[in-house]
Structures are given as structure tokens and as C-alpha cells.
Amino acid sequence: MKMIINGKPADSVSGMTREIYAPADGTILDTVPVASEEDLELAFEAAREGQKKWAKVPVYKRAEILMRFLELVERDKEELIQTLSADNGKPITQARQEISNISTAFRAFAEKAKHYYGTIIPPGIEPGHEQNLQLVTKEPVGIVLCIIPFNFPSNLFCQKVAPALMMGNAALVLPPSGNPLTNLKMTQLLVEAGVTDGAIQCVTAPGPLKQKAVADPRTAFVTITGSTETGLKIAETAAKNLTPYALELGGNDPFIVLDDGDLDLAVSEIVAGRMINSGQVCSASKRFLIHDSLVEEFTEKAVRLIADLKVGLPSCEDTQVTCLINEDAAREVEKQVNLTVSQGAEIALGGKRNGAFYEPTVLVNVPSSADIAQDMEVFGPVVPILSFHTDDEAVEIANRSVFGLSSCIFTADSKRAHRMAARLEAGSVIINGSTFLRSFEMPFGGWKQSGVGTEGVMSTFEEMTRTKVLAFKNLL
């Protein structure tokens, strides 16, 4: 598969390619170009010219083009589903849901853009301005660099590319290096739908070249979902040009069950909260804080539920948990579990690796001082269970982390939930549901080292536009 540069399929100027492997069984799915600095330069030049033309397309016509894109997605839906599942190692049922989300996201951003109005500051609001009319408008920033992660390549393409295009920007997509095929296909469809040449491009750039793209002064805004380590490097690089950015980074989200919480509901939420995408979710529930009066029963039910989950190949319709993105990722989870055991935890279920597969695992008697209970983010199907006695203790443990992405509380008392939510240091607090709750509408983002800025229909347009004031002096 080729890159998309200036509206056309493109090989690398160097001619270099790399093979893309299915993480589940190691089969070769395709080859893609290895982009060079020359390729990136071609993409930036095309984006600069393409953005100027695209910005002149009226908003309603941009929306019509994106609706045409959705028709093409529907036409090629099964191909996209199969590509995402094989390329990412995502269970086919979850790939089907993620591809169906494209319609939800693009429609929402298109409709929002058609109702995204400017503001008027009328005469006489303050002394000395009795005859002055001020119009506040929002304009495109220019080239938006969209850095997409491996775990939800379609969902996060939607969150970044749809608003960038609807606001008249050029979207320069840098897909995940190991699984770029879904993003390449989606970009092809946007070109086919009629997006101006250069206004949407997809460049298969290795890591160092992504940093060069961030450092390029033509980059007007950077939006990335990725690790905190990567986000910090991007922030440092972007600062040299005062390039603004939105960083959606790591998390170690607490899953808190109070003594009056619905235990069966909480246990059932483990599947969505921790096992979706084999646990490779930034906002997955990663620390299970259970009231000491419930911890034994919760553990028994959790082990029983998780032991019954179907582990298998991504292509099987009944698979619930499958491989991680590669064998290195599985080795890292294995290492983290072993460390947690050495720090006092015990394995109640799982704990074994087979290639890129890591068994759904339950860890019990996890000390609150263990790394996994604080700043060690585990990107895999691992449920570490800690106990607490008071609400204050639960909050203290939950906040004892550099991360603050999402959090959740299970309780029958709405006042108690509200009081605790106000004290949790996180961008989202879910009541009686797992931390894995995110709509395209909500402003999603984290506190502390979980990120900067938010994305979603409610907030992304603010991130991807610049404010201009048009003042008419002495108009009246």
C-alpha cells in the first residue's frame, strides 16, 4: 500500500519499504513506504497549497464532501473491518464497532461546524467604545499534524481529521508505524470523496521523522494520542516554534467500588473497562480499588468472569481477548506483572505469555505502595485488585499517581459520588460504569501527565482554530 501525498498514491523517494505483519500470527499483510525527509517536504508543500484552496471551500460543501466519504466507507465497510482487525490485532467484533463509529464522528463534526458561529461585541459594552462594533471570528490554523496511535487508529483518525478538515485546515496524518493500513485506506477514501489535493495526506513516517514534522515551522497545530513519554518530547519540540498542541497521553485510571456499590454491576464492567482491545486502552480501568468489605466477593466473581472470556484469534467472531500489538508489548506486560508479584502481589488467574498473547490476569493483595498502584501503566489485560477502608483512603490512593485521565466510582449514593468525584484528580469521572466511557461529543482529556487540552465535538474546534477580531471603529 502506498502513502497519499498531494492527492495521489506515493512511494518513498528513497524506494525503501517495510513489511506490515499481523500481530496475531506474524503473517505479512502488506508493504508500505518508509517515508524520508524528501517525502515529508513534498507533503508539507502540498499541504500548504492545499490548505489555502480547501479553506475557500464553503463549510456546507466541506460537509457534503465528508458525507460522500461516509458513503464510500459504507461501500468499503467490510474491507475496512478486516483490515483493522488484521492490522491491529483487534477482535473482529470490536473492529466492526470501531469502523461503524466513523459515521457517528464525521456526522457530528460536520453538523457542529455548520453551527459554529462567531460572536459580536456590540457598541457600548465599556466606556470609550460606544460607537465601535467588534466581530470575533474563528479561522483555520493551517496545517494540523495528526499523530495517530496503534490502539484505536480509526476512532482517533476521526477525532483529529474530521474537525481539522471541517475548520478549513489541512490534515497531515502520521499513522502508527506498525499498523498504518487502516489510516491509509481512510485517507484514500477522503481523497476519492473530493477533499482538495494536499488538504488530507497520510505519510508513513518512522518515529524520528515524526519529530521533524513537529519541529517544522509550517506545522500550525499538533494533535497526538500516545504515551506520556512521547507527549513530553513533542511538547519540548513544539515549544521551540511556539506551536500549540493537544496531547492525549497515558493513564492509570482508578476503578473504585464503595461499600454500597452494586457489586455485580461493577464486576460486569470489568469486560468493557479492562478487557476491550486486550487492555490496550489509555482510559482503561487499570487500578481496581475495592472496599475491604467487598474485596473477597469481588475477587471471586471477577476471577470467574475473566476465566470464562474467550481468548482467540482476532478473526473469530466469539473472540473477546486476543493478542497485544506485538510480542514486545506482551513481554513488557509480563515484566510488569512479575515486578508486581515481587512487590507483594499474588496471581489469582493468568500470568502467562505466549508470543504476542498475554493471558487475562488477576492480581490480588496488591500493596498500595506497588508501582502498578501508582505510576506504572500496564497496557494489557491485567486486573490488579487493591483494598481500602474509607472514602478518604480511596481518594488518596487514586490521586497518588502522575496520571489523571479518567476514573470511576460505584456507589448507590449520588451525593457521596459527587463529593468523591470533586476530589478525584482526573479529566473524567464515571459514576456506576467503568472508565472506558467516551463519546465523540464529550471534551476528552486528562489532568497532570495524562495530557494537555481536550478533543471531542464540544471542544476540538476551539483547539484547531485561531481567533480574529474585526473591529469597526466609529461605525455608529
List active site positions: 248, 282
Compute the CA torsion angle 33, 39, 45, 49 (nearest 10 deg).
-20
Q: Can you list the alpha helix ranges (DSSP code H) found in 284-433?
A: 295-307, 327-342, 391-399, 414-423
Report the amino acid identity of residue 381: P
Residues 284, 408 contacting (CB under 8 angstroms): no
10 Å CB burial of residue 126 (0-12, 13-18, 19+) is exposed
Cα dihedral sign for 122, 124, 126, 128?
positive
To which residue does cell 515551522 refer? 217
Do residues 275 and 322 touch, judged by C-beta distance below 8 A?
Answer: no
Contact 440, 105 (CB under 8 A): yes
Tallying the residues shown for the chain, one arrives at 476
The dihedral of CA 225, 177, 353, 264: what is its sign? positive
Query: Coil, strand or helix: which one is 170?
Result: strand
How far is residue 159's CA from residue 463's CA, in Å, rounded to a whole number?
12
Which residues, in sequence order, are CB contacts of 356 under 8 Å at separation 6+?
23, 24, 89, 323, 324, 325, 326, 327, 329, 330
Answer yes or no: are the C-beta atoms of 155 and 101 closer than 8 Å. Answer: yes
* Three-class SS state of 28: strand
d(CA 315, CA 293): 41
